[in-house]
Amino acid sequence: MTFAVETQQLRYQAGKNFALTDVNLRVPVGSIYGFLGPNGAGKTTTIRLLLGLLRAEGGTITVLGESMPAAYVTVLGRVGYVPDRPHVHPSLTVGESMELHAAFYMRWDARWAGELQRQFRLVDDRRVGSLSKGETGKLMMLLALAQQPELLVLDEPTDGLDPVVRRDVLEAVLGYVSDRQASVLISSHLVHELERICDWIGVMDRGDLMAELPMRDFKNGIKRLYVTGAPELVGETPFTILSRAPMNGSAEQWLVRGWEPEMRGHVESIGAVVTDVIDLDLEDGFVELLRSFRDKR
């Protein structure tokens, strides 16, 4: 497997109370990678390190096969970036913003930029400062897509936007990926939104990358089990026990990763019985994984 983004042992100290610690992030080429985590988890800091906007204190960063930040001049010409805050000048019009952006990118597709402008209903002579939040979000997405990036990096691109605008923005991303076979790294705390579009998931909290796996494995492999008669020490298991919580009597609730139906036999071999298995959607799995991770710290 080849990677559009890869970090090894990435470290960065951001003040006294926060640090990224040995982050090993891998975004497969051609994937839509959902970068999940609560606000303040370190997602934006990681993205800024990937793009050379911050300098790491340790580890390595490779983007599109090039070492960063050493190759930032060539790499950034191949990356479309929508930051978490607007980066377009409020005194410019929509048309002037497009012209300015086009001047910096040799791969700029003027025809497609015009199509996106019509699709997003962005008026050419409107000042950026007069646009609504949703219109500004659409303009930033247009600027990133029209440069025909090989890698699209989106930092909370739909945060605060209404459902209609969010759908328009995400449909544009999906259409681009389908047409150009690009890779996408999309950061968000809106878990339900990423569930529909991502094929890989990375979960970050407090500067640590807790998990990284295909979306199907995340959704299918994390379960809530109701177990009775389990011993205090269960030894090695073919699945990962993320947490155990006592219930009434001898009953317990287990959160597990890597569960398969045939593993009931292993539980029975230690004298316990699985009375129920509950499937978790992405948001429930994310919350439970986050809770179990914090309990162990």
Give every CB contact of residue 64 below 8 A, 6+ residues apart in sequence.
4, 75, 78, 79, 150, 151
255: pLDDT strictly greater than 70: yes
* Range 123-141 average pLDDT: 94
Confidence of residue 239 (pLDDT cuts 50, 70, 90): very high
294: pLDDT strictly greater than 80: no
Phi–psi pair at 143, nearest 5 degrees: -60, -40
Q: According to DSSP H, which parts of the chain are helical? A: 43-50, 72-76, 94-102, 110-120, 133-146, 163-180, 191-195, 215-221, 264-269, 282-296
Residues 152, 30: Cα–Cα separation, whole Å: 11
Residue 250: CB atoms within 10 Å: 12
pTM of the model: 0.87
Tell me: the pLDDT tens digits for 52-85?
999 999 999 999 999 999 999 999 999 999 998 8
Stretch among 75-89, 230-244, 258-272, 278-292 having the lowest mean pLDDT: 278-292
Angle at 273 between CA 248 and CA 215, to 5 degrees: 95
110: pLDDT strictly greater than 70: yes
292: pLDDT strictly greater than 80: no
Tell me: the pLDDT tens digits for 183-229?
999 998 778 778 888 999 999 998 999 889 898 888 777 899 999 99
* Range 39-63 average pLDDT: 95
> Which structure tokens are listed for 2?
């080849």
Q: Compute the mean pLDDT over every residue in the chain, rounded to the nearest whole number.
A: 91
40: pLDDT strictly greater than 90: no
Which H helix or E strand runs over 253? strand 251-257
Tell me: the pLDDT tens digits for 134-154?
899 999 999 999 999 999 999
Confidence of residue 297 (pLDDT cuts 50, 70, 90): low
* Range 258-275 average pLDDT: 93
Tell me: the pLDDT tens digits for 156-166?
888 777 888 88
Map out the domains of the chain with their CATH numbers. 3-206 (3.40.50.300), 217-296 (3.30.70)
247: pLDDT strictly greater than 80: yes
* Range 225-238 average pLDDT: 93
DSSP for 27-65, please give it: EETT-EEEEE--TTSSHHHHHHHHTTSS--SEEEEEETT
What is the residue type of 213?
Answer: L
List the end-to-end C-alpha distance of the chain, in Å, as a whole number.
32
- How remote is the C-alpha of 233 from its chain's centroid? 36
241: pLDDT strictly greater than 70: yes
Pairing of strands 79-82, 66-68: unpaired
